[in-house]
Amino acid sequence: MAAHEITARVYYEDTDAGGVVFYGNYMKFAERGRTELLRAIGFENSTLAREAGVLFVVRRITAEYMKPARLDDLLTIKTALKKVNNASFEMFQSIFCQNQMIFSMDVTLVTINMDGKPVRLPDNLRDKLSNFSV
């Protein structure tokens, strides 16, 4: 599985009073990874919404927290495609700190229209996702 990578620094706003990343903020880091993967293959969420009338919503997440990230850590967020369907796609995402995996998740995203109803992925996006490689 080819993976797209980005880095993110842990800021004070990402942590609790003890300087440990709040568990829900891993979802924010993962969202950034998905967004940047789309951008790397030539798509932006805002353009897809405006021009194709499609949005992505999370249908399912299975997450595993292995070790905490802390204030000032530099994280590497890896995003890989597992499967592309007609109206959804599945990804595996992992977060590393100092080359050690500290978080991983499987996520299923569904394509919906502006009325919130499931729709097919635009053909050009499905093709790019199906042929994704770094």
The set of catalytic residues is: 16
For the beta sheet containing 88-97, the strands, ordered from the edge strand earlier in sequence to the opposite edge, are: 3-9, 74-84, 88-97, 100-113, 54-65
Token output for 14 = 């990402």
| Residue 32, SS3 per DSSP | helix
Burial class of residue 128 in the structure, from the number of CB atoms within 10 Å of its CB (0-12 exposed, 13-18 middle, 19+ buried): middle
Structure tokens at 81: 């495609």
Beta strands in 1-134 (DSSP E): 3-9, 54-65, 74-84, 88-97, 100-113
Distance CA 76, CA 1 (A): 17
